[in-house]
Structure 1
């Protein structure tokens, strides 16, 4: 097998003594404080309720799980519990903050993790003399309004971001972080997909396997019904915000096929379609996911050129493919893409800068759909369908562009 070639890095511009120009963390810190204060005000409903039931996920669902987990058992026969056992660590984390209600402690810890990610991105960016990555995270997350504060996806994304930032220098630590993330919400395992071949891959993947096995063993001993979540995954349908859901919404809008046959119900913690061909659309989504996984394996085998950003680019491309082909595409999925985009933008060598722009635009449109116009998305009005068509169209375009640019930078022969 031909050994991979390490692409030459872009020469760094001459820098004056001290911190590189444009890498001062003061402005990102100020913007972080202002935007997060606004998010907290939105969560507190100071301006009134923005969207319906956004805070209820923590107030009702997470709180119920918290009480069940304190008894030493994972939620039993709860169709809402669809997450790997590591999610218990996040759900139980508010117990670390005494004196606050569960909701207050959850939001406070989410802000703390958000700040840690920001600091890590600033630190990584200053090595390159650029804070583009930190800005993507600091300014990108508020595009989703206060949704990031009342979902546990910021915590999951933090594990993937930190794993990618550590991969080149500390692959063992990166593997452990990715493993913990995978046991919380699966997808952070993809952070290791683009690890440079050789010692880095062996160290990272080996560490991930050992860490995952150890943590899984501890959780299995500490809680009963550890693997009950697996029973809830196969029955999930097509969420209205998914790519398949957009197709069904357009079919319902134009009255074909079977006018009036499609309806929307709250199932498995999401608004899902019921009606003709829904199961076909769900199976088509799963088939596309399998094809995406096959393409990623082919890329891994064929890739020959690595640079400092290849692992980050590969992680963003992989997660983007799985998001696009998902039966769900919940609004919080955009948090994952913002975090991985931020890591890519810390590195000058990244080839996915145009993809990041598309994803930030998709985040803005996603917020117009949820929470601002979710009623119209649910009822399938022209405006609701248009929002989903634009948002998902941007995601598809970003995924195709990411695949093309990743392949061209690592597999295709460079132009002479």
Structure 2
């Protein structure tokens, strides 16, 4: 007859093993990482729109007025007055006004979510690359840690462009160059990635060409 304590320990060990096995299967599931990706974006979107402390302040108090001033008064920041970003940064700000200013915050969020989804699809091979699932989970975790600002800054546009550029740089160096250059003209920091590619890649001639 087994001791009750031994039986409880064995049951606990079995439960832990089953839980660990389920977690491992979940981590290897392309569907699971996509579901997590979508849920995190919905959560971040809600926080930006309805959270306390104006987490969406850059979009609603800075980008939107700049876009409205350009479209209404023909006053273009970066041309008629100085500003802090490279000139192409105005493009996503203007695109977010395509459905009207009342829909500006929602349009911005949809634009960023679509860009992130495309980059996420490239990263995961659209569900076919299990080898990259670890990186995909890290991105989801990073979004959670960043919170609302992950979707509410101009960097939210340059990040997915730069990410796709880095992923495809070996197979498609010219496409990578275009994406990294575009990302740099939105926010300067991707220039470091482009410089690193030129310095370290054996295809540097195709990158520069």
User: Structure 2 length normalisation: TM-score?
Assistant: 0.75
Paired residues of 1:159 and 1:188 also in contact (CA < 8 A)? no
1:62 is matched with 63
Query: Judging changes above 3 Å, is the alpha-carbon distance between structure 1 residues 74 and 158 closer, same or farther for their aligned structure 2 residues?
Result: same
Task: Give matches, 1:103-114, under 5 Å.
Answer: 103-114=105-116
Structure 2 gaps, min length 5 = 1-25
How many residue pairs match? The answer is 179
For residues 143 and 38 of structure 2, what CA distance do their matches in structure 1 show?
13
Q: Aligned partners of 1:112 and 1:203: how far apart in 2? A: 29
Q: Deviations over 1:24-54 (max 9, x none)?
A: 3101111112222221221232xx51xx232
Q: Tell me how far apart the structure 2 counterparts of residues 144 and 72 of structure 1 sit (CA, whole Å).
A: 35
Distance in 2, Cα, partners of 1:175 & 1:142:
29
Give 1:354-373 correspondences, 5 Å limit.
none
With over 3 angstroms needed to count, the CA separation of the structure-2 counterparts of 1:119 and 1:63, relative to structure 1, is same
Aligned-residue offset at 1:22:
6.2
Distance 1:148 1:22, change over 3 A: closer
8 Å CA contact retained: 1:22, 1:129: no
**CA-atom RMSD in angstroms:** 2.5
- Does residue 173 (structure 1) correspond to residue 175 (structure 2)? The answer is yes
- How is 1:228-307 mapped onto 2 (pairs within 5 angstroms)? none
Q: Distance in 1 between matches of 2:159 and 2:111?
A: 14
Deviations 1:311-363, CA, capped at 9 Å, x for gaps: xxxxxxxxxxxxxxxxxxxxxxxxxxxxxxxxxxxxxxxxxxxxxxxxxxxxx
Structure 1 residues 59, 98: CA separation in 2 closer, same or farther (over 3 Å shift)?
closer
Q: How does 1:31-42 map to 2 (within 5 A)?
A: 31-42=36-47
The answer to which structure has the higher helix fraction is 2
Map of 1:159 onto structure 2: 161
CA contact (8 A) 1:163 1:191 kept: no
Measure the CA separation in 2 of the matches of 1:166 and 1:197.
12
Aligned-pair CA distance for 1:191? 1.8
- State TM-score, norm by structure 1: 0.40
Match of 2:184 in 1: 182
Deviations 1:242-297 (A, max 9, x none): xxxxxxxxxxxxxxxxxxxxxxxxxxxxxxxxxxxxxxxxxxxxxxxxxxxxxxxx
2:59–2:105: 8 Å Cα contact kept in structure 1? yes
Q: 1:104 to 1:189 in 2, by over 3 A?
A: same
Q: Does the CA-based 8 Å contact 1:118-1:138 persist in structure 2?
A: no
Give the SS at the match of 1:194: helix
Separation in structure 1 between the aligned mates of residue 29 and residue 118 of structure 2, nearest angstrom: 17
Please give the secondary structure, in 1, of the residue aligned with 2:167.
Answer: helix
In the superposition, relative to structure 1, how do residues 59 and 197 fare at CA in structure 2: closer, same or farther (>3 Å)? Answer: closer
Q: Flag the 1:28–1:197 CA change in 2: closer, same or farther, 3 A.
A: closer
> Which residue of structure 1 aligns with residue 206 of structure 2?
203
Distance 1:64 1:120 in 2: 33
Distance in 2 separating the partners of 1:31 and 1:54: 22
